A and B are shown apart, each in its own frame.
Chain A
Amino acid sequence: MTGEEPPRETLSSERELPGGIAVSDATAAEIYGEEVPAARAAKTAPGASKLVTFLWALPGTVWLILFLVAPVIVVLVVSFFTGTITGFSKTWTTDNYTTIFSSTSQYLDTLGKVARNAAIVTVVCLLIGYPVAYFLAVKVKKVQYSFALFIIALAPFFTSTLIRVESWIPTMGEHGAVNEILTKIGLINHPLSILLFSDFAVSVALVQLLVLFMVTPIFFQLAALDQSAIEAARDLGASGWKVFLHVTLPLTRAGIMIGSVFVFVLAMGDFGTYRLIGGGKVGSIGVNISNLVSLLQYPQAAAQAAVLVVAMVIGVVLLLRFAKLEQGF
């Protein structure tokens, strides 16, 4: 537990946030660094300090264990229980996993498709999101403007996913806005039906819902970037593209990776978008889980969720390997 950890030895420390933002805890404290810890040590016994830290951490930690960690573990446990008509009995079995991996099960097909969609969504989010973050952080010179524009882009994220998904129905439907506009300007003769209730439609909607998870970490990293490295490269005669490819891009790798992990994981675990944009015609593991729960097939639902998590972890590890994140840090 956290209470066991020794207290910080010095006052100043640097930490890293997701997004690669370096955090300087105490700048001025470095100046007083010599005398202040001594003064504190004289007043506070180390045991008391540990206890205070422990007490501060206690309520939040307990809450997260009760309502986050425990449910995740319970999913794993129940996936090894035997299913009954009304739920489950606590007899250990691996049947739920055998069912998933049996040849008649479509689970792996669905999982493969969801993973492929998630990978495509991640790449598209990067292609759309990077230029946006670059524009906001580098091209908009005034910090106030760049943050104001960033907040305008960020605001829809805080509105309901459900309502954002709902808004796709009149936008992309057979008589939706996009089809109306395309027909009016004569680009198509008949409304496109692929725009709703298809994997394509789900992917487009997921990009819209998740792209800010890509923009945000890249934006913060670009904003914190040391511009002198870029100027140096320019002064040495590198062209704009060369500077971008060899200086800017490598320096924002951590932001790209964090964004990619978020988008990939959230797209893979999605339920609402697949269910509503897919209109029941497009499957995902999330939709499977919800269907199984309505049939009271809890252990089967839990096993599907567990395999999903394993697949997500593998996906993330591959992603990190692929980009050699270790070097980035």
Chain B
Amino acid sequence: MSQQLKDRLSKWGLGIWFGIFLVFLYGPILVMLVLSLQDSSGGSTFPARGLISGYWYSYLGNSASAALRTAAGVSVVLAIIVGLIASALALSLIMAYRRMSRRAARAFLYLILLSLMTPGILLSLGMSLWWKLLGLNVALYPAGLGVQVAWALPFGFLVMLAIFNRYDIAVEEAARDLGASAVQTFTRITLPIIWGGVFGAALFGFTLSWNEFERTLLVSPTATLPLEIYGELTSATLQPNLYALGVITTFGTILLVFLMLIIVALLVRRTARAQAAALAEDSVEAVAAMPALEGA
């Protein structure tokens, strides 16, 4: 067999493997989609009855789903707060990380890894016990908020790190050399270039909080949407309205993720381009010409 044929065969073989992989990833979601489109006679398993109907979607709006709607309201507010705090903290951590010694930076990465790897149920237990020891009652605020931000922070941090990979510290140095203060350098040079990372981190935080369940389980007497779904899954009979909800949140989340990644990708490119311009041979003039520095 010629090398070219072999290459082509392996490419096709692996392509088919990737296709099967996507079916494996998305298949269950599609099954859920089909079952959510049944009419009122439909149940939680096959065969699907009365396709195609929007019955279970409108069911989410009636009084039988009131608890789900309340929980969704709680989750939206929480997710926005988690997104804001996580992005602000991720930004400040990355600013510190860039200035740290190599050893401290490594320690920080371990802290980030600890957050990613601690089993959710263990953190939930630890948090409820920690609050008990302090003599406090667990509640969504601040205990639930606390663990959710600690979970979202590493993702935000990694997004920022990706942006800063393409970010050149020399731009800041140039601004400083031209007499800009530290605060001016940060607000007028650094922030405009990396705001996409901040935005990405906030969206990550929102998404992760909106879907978080194990970490919040033992620390929140208030039901968030995932906690409410968990409660209904383990106690009540499964009804297709939960599938409808699953479809809405899944596709909503996927849409958000795509939006976020596109923005981040565009920004990474813009950052690279902006810096290429700023660091061109006449870098000093280019930076000096930045209108942002006029007041400096």
Contacts and interface: CB of A to CB of B under 8 A. Distances in A.
Interface of A: 2, 5-8, 11, 13, 15, 17-18, 23-29, 32, 36, 39-40, 43, 49, 52-54, 56-61, 63-64, 66-75, 78, 87, 128, 131-132, 134-136, 139, 147, 149, 151-156, 158-164, 166-171, 173-177, 180, 208, 211, 240, 261-262, 265-266, 268-272, 275-276, 286, 289-290, 293, 298, 301-302, 305, 308-309
Given A23-B161, A135-B11, A167-B29, 10 more contacts: A2-B100, A2-B107, A26-B168, A52-B182, A71-B147, A173-B45, A174-B45, A176-B46, A290-B121, A293-B218
B103 A74 contact: no
B236 interface: no
Interface centre among B15, B99, B115, B253 (most CB of A within 10 A): B99
Minimum-distance CB pairs A-B, first 10: A269-B119, A71-B126, A57-B96, A67-B146, A56-B96, A167-B28, A160-B211, A135-B14, A175-B45, A60-B93
B135 interface: no
B92 A56 contact: yes
Given A139-B11, A159-B250, A163-B249, A27 B211 contact: no
A36 B149 contact: no
B153 interface: yes
Contacts of B98: 25
A59 B150 CA distance: 12
Given A26-B168, A29-B170, A49-B99, A272 B123 contact: no
Interface of B: 3, 6-7, 10-11, 14-15, 17-18, 21-22, 24-29, 31-32, 35, 44-47, 88-90, 92-93, 95-105, 107-109, 111, 113-123, 125-130, 132-133, 146-147, 149-150, 153, 158, 161, 165, 168-170, 173, 176-177, 182, 207-208, 210-211, 213-214, 217-218, 226, 229-230, 233-234, 238, 242-243, 245-246, 249-250, 253-254, 256-258, 261, 265, 275, 279
A191 B47 CA distance: 13
Given A131-B14, A139-B14, A170 B114 contact: no
Given A2-B104, A23-B161, A169-B44, A163 B229 contact: yes
A166 B229 contact: yes
24 contacts: A11-B173, A18-B109, A25-B169, A26-B170, A36-B170, A57-B92, A71-B123, A74-B130, A75-B122, A78-B133, A128-B24, A155-B254, A156-B25, A156-B26, A156-B250, A158-B207, A166-B246, A176-B45, A180-B47, A272-B230, A289-B122, A305-B119, A305-B121, A305-B126
Nearest to A164: B28
Interface centre among A29, A56, A271 (most CB of B within 10 A): A56
Contacts of A168: 28
B14 A134 contact: yes
Contacts of B14: 131, 134-135, 139
A60 B129 CA distance: 22
Given A26-B168, A64-B153, A271-B119, A169 B238 contact: yes
Given A60-B89, A60-B92, A269 B122 contact: yes
B168 A29 contact: yes
B217 A43 contact: no
A139 B19 CA distance: 14
Contacts of A78: 129, 133
Given A63-B146, A289-B121, A8 B168 contact: no
Contact of A6 (B101, B117, B168): B101
B173 A170 contact: no
Contacts of A87: 132
A64 B86 CA distance: 11
B118 to A, nearest CB: 6
B173 A71 contact: no
A63 B89 contact: yes
Given A159-B249, A166-B229, A7 B46 contact: no
A327 to B, nearest CB: 19
Contacts of B115: 64, 68
B126 A151 contact: no
Contacts of A32: 170, 173
Contacts of A24: 165
B103 A5 contact: yes
Contacts of A26: 168-170
B233 A308 contact: no
Contacts of B210: 160
B236 to A, nearest CB: 13
B45 A170 contact: yes
A233 B103 CA distance: 37
B59 to A, nearest CB: 16
Contacts of A43: 176
Interface centre among B7, B45, B115 (most CB of A within 10 A): B45
B32 A136 contact: no
A234 to B, nearest CB: 8
Nearest to A180: B46
B46 A156 contact: no
B246 A167 contact: yes
Interface centre among A17, A139, A208 (most CB of B within 10 A): A139
A156 B29 contact: yes
A305 B122 contact: yes
A142 to B, nearest CB: 13
A136 B21 CA distance: 12
A171 B29 CA distance: 9
A6 B254 CA distance: 43
Given A87-B132, A175-B45, A67 B22 contact: no
